[in-house]
Amino acid sequence: MGDKIRLILNPTAGHGRAVKILQSVRGILDSRGVAYDVAESKRPGHALEIARDSAEQGYNVIAAVGGDGTVGEVANGILGSGVRDVKMAVIPAGTGNDFVGGNRLFKDWEEAAQALASQKVIRSTDVLLFRDASGYSKYVINSIGTGFDAYVVKRVLELGSRKVGRLSYMIEAFRGLFAFNPGHFEVDFDGDAQVRENVWLFAIVNSERFGGGMLVAPGASSSDGKMNVCSLSDVSRSQIVPLIVLVRSGKHMGRPGVSCQECREVRISAPQGFPCHLDGDTVDVTYPFTVTVVPGALSVIAG
């Protein structure tokens, strides 16, 4: 009996580009005789529901057609279903495709479609389990950010300027240099308790890249049972921009104020209201929160 495959489309991903990409992907799958069906996400959280229901209905290959937000929802749906032996595929079609880039799965959507058709390479991938003091929990596939980066994302969403794209993020990042106030953090890395002052951000990542391709943790792997926790603290406002520029190429490592270490569990306490995002989606968290690695939780189709 062959695979039962469902593609879950986010039609708004990539400013609508995902719809055109899906048409081309269907052409590739049809030409190779692959049987599948397509479901369309209608609202935030809908892709999660579709993925969970699909797993429970016997679909054993579920593909996300969209960006990192869509991939995160599909992953949470698969994991939340409790159904074993479900493979996740990704057709990168968003403005940000950090999961694909950070894990070096494919070079583009066409290669991803060919990989889905052949399924020659299946990779076990770690995920991060986020839990805060209120009991809220979520699986995170890529990154958790608390501080300056989350502040910028929140501002862009509040102003409704997301459609502008990267320019709106650049504008809010510049404004944030003057408006954002660093905080006092208490952090525990696998039992090693530390205090950090004047913290601009903590980035907890499951692979090399976050934030639309920024090489925050060079060499990080999503299959080693560890997360990488990088922080920026005790630096002046004038030092922030040069450091952010260096992060794009991974040249920030070893610079004053930059810290990056591996661990299996981290607990972070920060001032209540300090901005936070999970895979690029801002959330109102109740500190402290804990992040734990779940090794090999996802089976992912790779190129």
- Asked if residue 105 lies in contact with residue 209, where contact means CB atoms within 8 angstroms, the answer is no
pLDDT at 168: 72
Only one residue has tokens 């794009």, namely 248
pLDDT at 149: 86
CB neighbour list of residue 5: distance below 8 Å, 6 or more residues apart: 34, 35, 36, 37, 59, 61, 62, 63, 116
- Give the whole-angstrom CA distance, residue 230 versus residue 243: 13
3-state secondary structure 2-35: CCCEEEEECCCHHHHHHHHHHHHHHHHHHHCCCC
Structure-token pair, residue 1: 């009996």
Q: What is the maximum alpha-carbon separation in the chain?
A: 61
Select from 22, 13, 77, 69 the least CA-distant residue to 51. 77
- Give the whole-angstrom CA distance, residue 245 versus residue 251: 9
> At residue 258, what are phi and psi to the nearest 5 degrees?
-100, 130
**Regions of the chain with pLDDT less than 70:** 1, 160-166, 212
- Asked if residue 144 lies in contact with residue 291, where contact means CB atoms within 8 angstroms, the answer is yes
Chain Cα centroid distance, residue 198: 26
pLDDT at 163: 52
- Asked if residue 64 lies in contact with residue 47, where contact means CB atoms within 8 angstroms, the answer is yes
- Asked if residue 3 lies in contact with residue 37, where contact means CB atoms within 8 angstroms, the answer is no
pLDDT at 166: 61
Domains and CATH numbers, the chain: 5-119 (3.40.50.10330), 130-295 (2.60.200.40)
pLDDT at 94: 87
Query: Rg of the chain's alpha carbons, rounded to an integer?
Result: 19
pLDDT at 209: 78
